[in-house]
Structure 1
Amino acid sequence: METIWTPSPNFDQRKLPVTILVMHYTGMKDAASAINWLANPDAKVSAHYVVTEDGQIVQMVNEENRAWHAGRGYWRGIEDVNSASIGIEIVNPGHEWGYVPFPEEQMDSVTRLASEIVGRHNIAKSNIIGHSDLAPARKQDPGELFDWGRLARHGLALERPTKNLFDPIWTDGGFMLALERFGYDITAKKDAVVAFQRRFRQENIDGIIDGETRAILLSLMLDRERGITK
């Protein structure tokens, strides 16, 4: 894919192989502000790629290097998520500046870029996650308007379970144990539930452990145990 190279000085050496792809939104007023900030050495943040509203892809850090996009976080036993991941920043004002749906041209580029990254690094679709998944207490992005379903249809994310769902009637404690086993940091319990819902039940992210939330997690766990997903 054609990209514009706008280098960021904010990177260092990886300590782990790439096994995770993280989706972000920029959470800034416009693309220029986001790119300028990610290229600013004082910012101490960066990403491998930025995708603008019209679908233009800007590369800021080589994939072989460790960009500083994830911050403090955890996913499936990995605490240094930056070392194990590639980060895509998707231009969107986010919840602070007026969260809006992601345009078709933008999602098309995100999908094609993700496909290329996954192909290069053999990333499992269960490890294609949002920033909020790895840092539930701190982050909301890419948020409930992000089209995970589109990525799932291309084999680039886990699908939301919709068929043959049933409530296992776990206690709240049992649900949290299952959520931790699935991969989330559950230190901030409600935040972890909200992050899970933001990813897998986007129309209702109330943080309540209800029957539908339990049923969705159970289905995902069963698929994993059957080897349908990793």
Structure 2
Amino acid sequence: MSIVTKFSPNFTAGRKNYTPFAIVIHIMDGTLTGTDSWFSNPASKVSAHYGVGQQGEVHQYVKETDSAWHAGRVYTPSWSLIKTSNGQYINPNYYTIGIEHEGKGDTPWSDAMYAASAALIRDIADRWHIPLDRQHVIGHHEIYGAKTCPGTKVDLNKLIALANGNHTTPVNNDDDGDIPQKVKVTGKVTSRSRLNIRSAPDTHKAPVNIVEPGIQLAYDGYVNNGEKINNNSKWYYTEEGSWFWSGGVK
């Protein structure tokens, strides 16, 4: 996935010892270009971690390890996982990741925006071990009930299904007929330990290469139904046609 950095000055360094465990979906109520400008202005006092455009562009405004200013106000929340302490709400910015989307609340979402957002959500969920369900991918209005954000046109269940890889692109099988269907989305990950690179998503295939820990690997997509290892059957594939298990990378 290609991500353009447009870093905002509007954030809190770190996360007050919290770890992100949910993703908040927003609507920009405007254009991607306008949001770039608004988030770059210190006077706006707002930001999000990412913005996704109608054409599938992805901009990053705040690092995931820092707290963007996207969901700090809490009002009549319907989200059951919101944190409290001594009867007070803990600022959700500390434990959520915010994604803005181009358009207004009544603007239909393009297929490109759905696809890009789903791929981004999948990557974030992989990095932070966030479950992909409606308790962990939520609308902004579930934290701040005075708003309708992200509006009436987004289908959050569809977005989550896409992020889970439930919409796949058929491809030809290999000679043995054993390559599963692929989800096409690009990105980068880093090996956790020594990692075998194979010719198929199957440990019965002899390694074609071995990479050392800490090596960045680019992928062109993944499957969710490769060989299951430790209850995880997601495998990445590369442009060269090689495969590696998702449990071996971060």
Whole-Å separation in 2 of the counterparts to 1:154 and 1:51: 15
1:120 positional shift: 0.6
Whether the 8 Å CA contact 2:121–2:163 is kept in 1: the answer is no
Q: Aligned letter for 2:23?
A: L
Q: Which residue of 1 aligns with 2:195?
A: none
Between 1 and 2, higher relative CO (CA 8 Å, sep ≥ 6) is seen in 1
1:22 positional shift: 0.2
Whole-Å separation in 2 of the counterparts to 1:148 and 1:84: 20
SS of alignment partner, residue 44 of structure 2: coil
- 1:100 aligned onto 2:111: no
Alignment gaps of 5+ in structure 2? 84-88, 165-250
Q: Which residue of 2 aligns with 1:17?
A: 19
TM-score (normalizing by structure 1): 0.62
- 1:5 aligned onto 2:16: no
Q: Which residue of 1 aligns with 2:140?
A: 131
Whether the 8 Å CA contact 2:56–2:113 is kept in 1: the answer is yes
SS of alignment partner, residue 142 of structure 1: coil
1:92 positional shift: 0.9
Q: Which residue of 2 aligns with 1:52?
A: 53
Whole-Å separation in 2 of the counterparts to 1:3 and 1:152: 20
Whether the 8 Å CA contact 2:50–2:62 is kept in 1: the answer is yes
Which structure 2 residues correspond to residues 55-66 of structure 1 after superposition, within 5 A? Answer: 55-66=56-67
Give CA-to-partner distance per residue, 1:115-166, whole Å, 9 cap, x none: 0001111112221100011111x2111122102232232465xxxxxxxxxx
Give CA-to-partner distance per residue, 1:86-128, whole Å, 9 cap, x none: 000001123xxxx211111011100000000011111122211
Q: Aligned letter for 1:115?
A: R
Alignment gaps of 5+ in structure 1? 157-230
Give CA-to-partner distance per residue, 1:162-197, whole Å, 9 cap, x none: xxxxxxxxxxxxxxxxxxxxxxxxxxxxxxxxxxxx
Q: Aligned letter for 1:109?
A: A
Higher helix proportion (structure 1 or 2): 1
Larger radius of gyration: 2
**Moved runs in structure 1, 4+ residues, more than 6 A?**
none
Q: Which residue of 1 aligns with 2:29?
A: 27
TM-score (normalizing by structure 2): 0.57
Whether the 8 Å CA contact 2:115–2:162 is kept in 1: the answer is no
Instruction: Give identity over the alignment, percent.
Output: 33
SS of alignment partner, residue 51 of structure 2: strand
Q: Aligned letter for 2:29?
A: G
Give CA-to-partner distance per residue, 1:42-84, whole Å, 9 cap, x none: 1000010000110100001000000000121254242310000
SS of alignment partner, residue 150 of structure 1: helix
Q: Aligned letter for 1:120?
A: R
Whole-Å separation in 2 of the counterparts to 1:115 and 1:152: 9
SS of alignment partner, residue 42 of structure 1: helix
1:4–1:35 Cα change, 3 Å: same
Whole-Å separation in 2 of the counterparts to 1:151 and 1:32: 23
Higher strand proportion (structure 1 or 2): 2
| 1:140 counterpart (121, 127, 148) | 148
Whole-Å separation in 1 of the counterparts to 2:42 and 2:151: 27
- 1:150 aligned onto 2:161: no
SS of alignment partner, residue 93 of structure 1: coil
Whether the 8 Å CA contact 2:118–2:160 is kept in 1: the answer is no
Q: Which residue of 2 aligns with 1:208?
A: none
1:2 positional shift: 0.9
